[in-house]
Amino acid sequence: MRAELAHSAASAAQFPADGLPEIAIAGRSNVGKSSFINALLGRRQLARTSGTPGKTRLIHFFRLEEAAYLVDLPGYGYASVSRSERAAWRPLVESYLQGAREALRAAIVLVDPRRGPGPEELDLIAWLEAEGLDARAVLTKADKLRPAERQRRLEASGDALGLDAGRLCTVSARTGRGLATVGRWMHDWTGLELRRADGSPLLD
């Protein structure tokens, strides 16, 4: 699909104003946001991966087929930058996620299943819902767990976050497992049909 980095915003004045639906991707530093975005969109280097946690310091808007945006938010938690710089990101991210932004339809919070949801994820999901946003969770790196353990951690994460089975899933950026679930979410939120490399819909 046609996808491009259309905007990198350091302030609210730089957010897109075209009204296309937006889906935000949030997660702890090093949870695999860039790999998840690349796998979901069938691209290798659209979102740049890095071995340095906290590299994403702006809000990046990836425009999809001139129909929607996938929005990469700065990672929270550990980052190899100063505490003052990390603190400066918070007003930027909160100004974007506040429910007053009409184009923002939903947010996906990524969680490393080996660590499980911590206080940051619990607070973020609760805050997003208080803002009236449809908040869902994706457990990344699913290929690193055996099936029984993967299911156990999925259920435990759902209980901790207060999300029912339809609002969370496990995904592997390496194998593609679980991406179809996110593809269905994206279609429901934006009407955009993501596609696999062979052109088939990423819906099943």
pLDDT tens across 51-102, in order? 444 445 789 999 999 999 999 998 876 444 455 555 666 788 888 998 778 9
Residue written as tokens 């062979």?
Answer: 198
Neighbours of 73 (CB within 10 A): 21
More confident call, 143 vs 86: 143
Quick one: how far is CA 178 from the chain centroid? 14
Q: What percent of the chain has pLDDT over 70?
A: 89
pLDDT band for 200, please (50, 70, 90 cuts). Answer: confident
Q: For position 56, what pLDDT does the model report? A: 52
Q: For position 55, what pLDDT does the model report? A: 47
Q: In the predicted model, is pLDDT for residue 175 greater than 50?
A: yes
Average per-residue pLDDT for the chain: 87
Amino acid at 58: L
Q: For position 48, what pLDDT does the model report? A: 64
Domain 3-11+18-190 class, CATH top level: alpha beta
**Would you say the pTM of this structure is higher than 0.85?**
yes
Q: For position 133, what pLDDT does the model report? A: 93
Q: For position 186, what pLDDT does the model report? A: 96
- Average pLDDT value for residue range 105-110: 96
Q: For position 77, what pLDDT does the model report? A: 61
- Average pLDDT value for residue range 119-138: 93
Handedness of CA 184, 14, 4, 79 (dihedral sign): negative
Q: Where are the alpha helices (DSSP H) in the chain?
A: 33-41, 83-97, 119-130, 147-161, 179-190
Neighbours of 149 (CB within 10 A): 12
- Average pLDDT value for residue range 195-204: 77
Q: For position 50, what pLDDT does the model report? A: 46
Rg (CA), the chain: 16
